[in-house]
Amino acid sequence: MTDPTGTTDTTTTVDERKGVSRRRLFGAVGAGAALAGAGALVGRATAAEPPFSHADVVAFRGEHQAGVVTPAQDRMHFVAFDVTTKSREELEALLKKWTVMAERMTAGEEATPDGAIGDGLYVPPSDTGEALGLAASQLTLTIGFGPSLFDDRFGFASKKPAALEELPHFRADNLDPARSGGDIAIQACANDPQVAVHAIRNLARVAFGTASVRWSQLGFGRTSSTSTTQDTPRNLFGFKDGTNNIKAEETDVVDENVWVAYGDDQPWMAGGTYLVARRIRMLIEQWDRTVLGEQERVIGRSKGSGAPLSGKAEFDELDLDSKKGHDPVIDVDAHVRLASAQELGGIQILRRGYNFTDGSDGFGHLDAGLFFIAYCRNPQEQFVPMQLNLSRNDAMNEYIQHVGSALFVCPPGLAEGQYWGQGLFT
Amino acid sequence: MTDPTGTTDTTTTVDERKGVSRRRLFGAVGAGAALAGAGALVGRATAAEPPFSHADVVAFRGEHQAGVVTPAQDRMHFVAFDVTTKSREELEALLKKWTVMAERMTAGEEATPDGAIGDGLYVPPSDTGEALGLAASQLTLTIGFGPSLFDDRFGFASKKPAALEELPHFRADNLDPARSGGDIAIQACANDPQVAVHAIRNLARVAFGTASVRWSQLGFGRTSSTSTTQDTPRNLFGFKDGTNNIKAEETDVVDENVWVAYGDDQPWMAGGTYLVARRIRMLIEQWDRTVLGEQERVIGRSKGSGAPLSGKAEFDELDLDSKKGHDPVIDVDAHVRLASAQELGGIQILRRGYNFTDGSDGFGHLDAGLFFIAYCRNPQEQFVPMQLNLSRNDAMNEYIQHVGSALFVCPPGLAEGQYWGQGLFT
Ligand code: HEM
Ligand code: HEM
């Protein structure tokens, strides 16, 4: 974001103070970006603009929302809101305001035209300022609506998609209501965490009186690759994660499994998707006491290379039929077997989770785990059967506990002039 | 850290599986680094080593511990331990083990020679693996000992420095014991948070039975510059933070204010320092409702440029006598006035804090703030009078609350062959 009064220019004009010129630059980048479709990277800012080290801008508008198949950024801040107003008009006004702010921030601008200092001394600044001088950092902001938003408060009942049913209870779920649910979710992903936190904070701030933060989660490192251009990162069990994920480049697989098609359900959400969030505590002390062979049996892959136990290299296909004597090489309870398309009649989801650590648990351990995010075209037909299978049989269950859960429907991307959630109001 | 079985080499030998060659490379870098003194940057890994994007290695050994005047890295994971054993020998053994692991990890190696996969299938891996493939990322690990470690458990009473007195209660302190104190602290700073988290986790892990995690804190963004080579970052009030900090390059100021000198106190800690940690919740909603002029009055600096209100450019000196009519330009209660060396008879500290956000507070707000870390030569003569002045008079107090507090003495740096805390045992 622009730093209107950098330390070097002590003789700035008012226009420079407001950073107008740099903002114009960004405006242009944003416009070009829109042509490429939301989620597309539109190149780095020029090297002549000094503080812009993570300067990639991801287009905000397009057929689909950004932040789904966009190559997973390194850091995340996720927030779920409760809507506190009963007024449909106030909610609509907030969504309009959010859209304008979100588009600006993803372009590397301040949340508002006047920003942190441009309004003058006599009003509260309209941007909180901590991202001044920081680049866009591939910030994406992705919105979703929870089942509770479609109750009788706002007249959205007739707009509710059939697949937006609350998730069932899964075996061993130990969900904290204070970390579950929510009327509206916003996922902020960026390569600079300060940019992601700044975005959520400014959106939360203008919601005052209309919506309030129900829960939020910081993810310090991505645990998934969502593009063939990315390395596979590691989760806190030390295993590569995202190897057999859907990749953005597989557009047919994405269309089949991620984006809601016309005719699937409510017309307003064609081109949208569903977001499932699960806060999964990892019992890392138990895991760390387990021998390597057992860890690899539980996952079904080799820890070093990430190769399936039935293969040699990371991207070798799972061979679920491969045997060593009478025993399957990939265990019957191995995580990758139970979650695989082969086992589940072709079901696939797009995973986009983040590692977290939130202090300690009061028992001498770190409170660490995986903030699991999945996108899919129909959660009832994809996430639910997959998680039913995992919750019943997964050998990994000894080492994890699901402690938070939420489901949201994500509307499609926006054309010029449209605002977040417009389909609900028209 | 080395990725012993990268996806591309499917025909690795056992030695390659263990990543011996890459480790040797790092060994060499580490050795060169030692000559430059702990805390010195020793250049990037060659571009030929692909995953090493944040590959700077900070030397582990030297006259002083690294992580104090080392240019502040972007991310931090801080942990405080309770020692759970009563055995002096067990504690010494842990400190020795930690030293070996810490030296390895700061060099970009795994925590142990065998690492995440080198021990074979039949034992729990001796490294947890999530940093495989990640660079050293300027990781520094800095150890400190709390006043409680010098009670009657281990016979250290006669080694206790006089300045290691528990901090007094400051006005409006609202400290949570579960986020305060601790026998031992380790500060992990790195440019990749996964590297910092991995280091703390592996140190915590081998402490099992000897020490357990009392509290920990993740900091997502540095709020201080500690070197003239760094830009000044912004804290969550949106202001530049660290402008008038002690900078590593001012070696006289550092010697005067940060490092304990021979003759100051206990001989074992000459070359060491003291670490004060304060978890400071920022009431960002209140702050965000405040007009810009009031925000600038509270801090005493301009929000855009960071210049003192008495000056024009960020690094202009504070002019505390400057007047506008009869009123001081820098308010009598302004934070920078009350914390300034001018006001406090020359007192200075080295600030090295991090922004945090830990979910929400249950009242619709983000739980966000500043994890304040200060290093000084004598906390009773530097931090205490400064914080007494601030806690009584600082206009900022309306917008913050101190919720955690801890004090540690940090031993000096290590020569070859020495281990953390050796001075306590000899
Ligand atoms: C802390 C919890 C979890 C951990 C540590 C974990 C870890 C892993 C790892 C290491 C892999 C292998 C690499 C890869 O292909 O990405 C994997 C694969 C997979 N996981 Fe998970 N996972 C967790 C939870 C879940 C959940 C809750 C689901 C969905 C309900 C899920 C669905 C999948 C799928 C679909 C695959 C790919 C399977 C295939 O090869 O076809 N995972 N997971
Ligand atoms: C959330 C709490 C705090 C915030 C937001 C904050 C913010 C700031 C800001 C914006 C500056 C001006 C820029 C600079 O020179 O770095 C500053 C200066 C300073 N702060 Fe703080 N601060 C906080 C707490 C503290 C505490 C607890 C202490 C020490 C007890 C402290 C000591 C100082 C010092 C010594 C300076 C430099 C003053 C000078 O110009 O000589 N600050 N702080």
Mean pLDDT of B99-128: 95
Length of chain B equals 426
Which of A396, A395, A400, A398 has the alpha carbon at shortest distance from A333? A395
Residue B162 Cα to chain centre, angstroms: 23
Which of B57, B195, B188 has the alpha carbon at shortest distance from B133? B195
Which of B245, B219, B208, B211 has the alpha carbon at shortest distance from B230? B245
Helical residues (DSSP H) of A85-220, grouped into ranges: 88-106, 193-206
| Residue numbers of B between 234 and 293 with CB closer than 8 Å to A | 234-239, 284-285, 288-293
Q: Contacts of residue B220 in chain A, CB cutoff 8 Å?
A: 75, 193-194, 197, 218, 220
Q: What is the pLDDT of residues A2-39, one digit of tens each?
A: 444 333 333 333 233 333 222 222 322 333 333 334 44
- Interior CA angle at B57 toward B54 and B61, to 5°? 155
Structure confidence at residue A83 as a pLDDT band (50, 70, 90)? very high
- Is residue A232 within 8 angstroms of chain B, CB to CB? yes
- Is residue B197 within 8 angstroms of chain A, CB to CB? yes
Give the strand pairing for A366-376 and A350-351.
Answer: antiparallel
ipTM above 0.95, yes or no: no
CB contact under 8 A, B125 and A238: yes
Supply the DSSP symbol for A66.
T
- Is residue A194 within 8 angstroms of chain B, CB to CB? yes
- Is residue A326 within 8 angstroms of chain B, CB to CB? no
Q: Contacts of residue A133 in chain B, CB cutoff 8 Å?
A: 231, 234
Q: Residue A242 has which token pair?
A: 């995202």
Give the strand pairing for A75-83 and A366-376.
Answer: unpaired
The residue with greater pLDDT, B269 or A54, is B269
The residue with greater pLDDT, A16 or B392, is B392
Q: Residue B381 has which token pair?
A: 């003569």
Q: Contacts of residue B228 in chain A, CB cutoff 8 Å?
A: none
* CB neighbour list of residue B324: distance below 8 Å, 6 or more residues apart: none
Pocket of ligand 2 (CB under 6 A): B 235, 237, 239-245, 278, 280, 282, 299, 301, 318, 335-336, 339-341, 349, 370, 372, 383, 386-387, 390, 400
Residue B76, φ and ψ in degrees, nearest 5: -145, 145
Alpha-carbon dihedral angle through residues B310, B244, B216, B54, given to the nearest 10 degrees: 120
Judged by its nearest atom, the ligand closest to the C-alpha of residue B225 is 2
Q: Could you give the CA distance from residue A9 to residue B79 in angstroms, rounded to a whole number?
A: 41
- Interior CA angle at B347 toward B307 and B187, to 5°? 85
B313 CA: distance to closest CA in chain A (Å): 6
Q: Could you give the CA distance from residue B356 to residue A193 in angstroms, rounded to a whole number?
A: 10
- Interior CA angle at A191 toward A51 and A134, to 5°? 25
Judged by its nearest atom, the ligand closest to the C-alpha of residue B281 is 2
Q: What's the pLDDT score for residue B295?
A: 98
pLDDT at B52 over 50: no
Give the strand pairing for B211-219 and B350-351.
Answer: unpaired
A260 CA: distance to closest CA in chain B (Å): 31
Q: Percent of chain B at pLDDT above 90?
A: 84
A116 CA: distance to closest CA in chain B (Å): 8
Q: How far is the CA of B178 from the centre of ligand 1 (A)?
A: 34
Q: What's the pLDDT score for residue B55?
A: 58
Tell me, using a 6 A CB cutoff, whether residue A299 lines ligand 1. Answer: yes
Kindly provide the residue ranges of all beta strands, DSSP E only, lying in B229-338, ordered along the sequence: 273-282, 323-324, 327-328
Q: What's the pLDDT score for residue B30?
A: 31
Q: What is the pLDDT of residues A370-411, one digit of tens each?
A: 999 999 999 999 999 999 999 999 999 999 999 999 999 999
pLDDT at A73 over 60: yes
Q: What is the pLDDT of residues B232-273, one digit of tens each?
A: 999 999 999 999 999 999 999 999 999 999 999 999 999 999
> Does residue B147 contact residue B83 with C-beta atoms inside 8 Å?
no
Q: Could you give the CA distance from residue A345 to residue A331 in angstroms, rounded to a whole number?
A: 18
Mean pLDDT of A218-223: 94
Residue B410, φ and ψ in degrees, nearest 5: -105, 120
Of the partner residues B129, B285, B289, the one whose CB lies closest to the CB of residue A238? B129
Q: Could you give the CA distance from residue B274 to residue B376 in angstroms, rounded to a whole number?
A: 5
Which of A184, A166, A309 has the alpha carbon at shortest distance from A243? A309
Q: How far is the CA of A234 from the centre of ligand 1 (A)?
A: 12
Which of A95, A203, A97 has the alpha carbon at shortest distance from A154? A95
Q: How far is the CA of B338 from the centre of ligand 2 (A)?
A: 9
Q: Could you give the CA distance from residue B277 to residue B259 in angstroms, rounded to a whole number?
A: 17
Q: What's the pLDDT score for residue A210?
A: 98
Burial class (CB in 10 A: 0-12, 13-18, 19+), A152: exposed
Q: What is chain B's mean pLDDT, rounded?
A: 88
pLDDT at A146 over 60: yes
The residue with greater pLDDT, A66 or B36, is A66
* CB neighbour list of residue B269: distance below 8 Å, 6 or more residues apart: B161, B260, B409, B411, B412, B423
Supply the DSSP symbol for A117.
T
Kindly provide the residue ranges of all beta strands, DSSP E only, lying in B336-426, ordered along the sequence: 350-351, 354-360, 366-376, 400-410
pLDDT at B51 over 80: no
Packing angle of the helix pair A88-106, A193-206 (nearest 10 deg): 160
CB contact under 8 A, B365 and A213: yes
Q: What's the pLDDT score for residue A30?
A: 31
Q: Could you give the CA distance from residue B35 to residue B277 in angstroms, rounded to a whole number?
A: 31
B139-148, B222-231, B291-300, B411-420: least confident range: B222-231
Judged by its nearest atom, the ligand closest to the C-alpha of residue A339 is 1
Q: What's the pLDDT score for residue A364?
A: 85
Mean pLDDT of B17-45: 31
Q: What's the pLDDT score for residue B47?
A: 28
Q: Contacts of residue B359 in chain A, CB cutoff 8 Å?
A: 179, 215-218, 358
Q: Which residue is closest to A82 within chain B, CA to CA?
A: B364
pLDDT at A162 over 50: yes
Packing angle of the helix pair B88-106, B193-206 (nearest 10 deg): 160
- Residue indicated by tokens 């609202």: B174
Q: Which three-class secondary structure state does DSSP give residue B221?
A: strand
Q: What's the pLDDT score for residue B365?
A: 86
Alpha-carbon dihedral angle through residues B238, B242, B243, B249, given to the nearest 10 degrees: -160
Q: How far is the CA of B221 from the centre of ligand 1 (A)?
A: 29
CB contact under 8 A, B368 and A208: no
B264 CA: distance to closest CA in chain A (Å): 35
Q: Contacts of residue A130 in chain B, CB cutoff 8 Å?
A: 234-238, 355
- Is residue B177 within 8 angstroms of chain A, CB to CB? no
User: Which of A1, A13, A134, A197 is best to mutate for the B interface (most B CBs within 10 A)?
Assistant: A197
Q: Whose CA is nearest to atom 29 of ligand 2?
A: B387
Tell me, using a 6 A CB cutoff, whether residue A395 lines ligand 1. Answer: no
Q: What is chain A's mean pLDDT, rounded?
A: 88
Supply the DSSP symbol for A158.
G
Q: What's the pLDDT score for residue A99?
A: 98
Q: Contacts of residue B368 in chain A, CB cutoff 8 Å?
A: 197, 201
Supply the DSSP symbol for A50.
T
Q: Percent of chain B at pLDDT above 70?
A: 87
Alpha-carbon dihedral angle through residues B132, B135, B138, B144, given to the nearest 10 degrees: 10
Q: What's the pLDDT score for residue B45?
A: 26
Mean pLDDT of A214-243: 95
User: Which of A292, A295, A331, A355 is best to mutate for the B interface (most B CBs within 10 A)?
Assistant: A292
> Structure pTM?
0.89
For residue A212, count other CB atoms closer than 10 A to its CB: 16
Length of chain A equals 426
CB contact under 8 A, A124 and B289: yes
Q: Percent of chain A at pLDDT above 70?
A: 87
Structure confidence at residue A55 as a pLDDT band (50, 70, 90)? low
Q: What is the pLDDT of residues A263-319, one digit of tens each?
A: 999 999 999 999 999 999 999 999 999 999 999 999 999 999 999 999 999 999 999
Supply the DSSP symbol for A46.
P
Residue A216 host element (H or E): strand A211-219
* CB neighbour list of residue B94: distance below 8 Å, 6 or more residues apart: B206, B207, B210, B211
User: Which of B3, B5, B12, B284 is best to mutate for the A interface (most A CBs within 10 A)?
Assistant: B5
pLDDT at B424 over 80: yes
Q: Could you give the CA distance from residue B15 to residue B4 in angstroms, rounded to a whole number?
A: 9
CB contact under 8 A, A366 and B312: no
Q: Contacts of residue B364 in chain A, CB cutoff 8 Å?
A: 82, 84, 212-214
Q: Contacts of residue B6 in chain A, CB cutoff 8 Å?
A: 305
- Is residue A83 within 8 angstroms of chain B, CB to CB? no
Q: Could you give the CA distance from residue A42 to residue A187 in angstroms, rounded to a whole number?
A: 21
Q: Whose CA is nearest to atom 28 of ligand 2?
A: B387
- Is residue B193 within 8 angstroms of chain A, CB to CB? yes
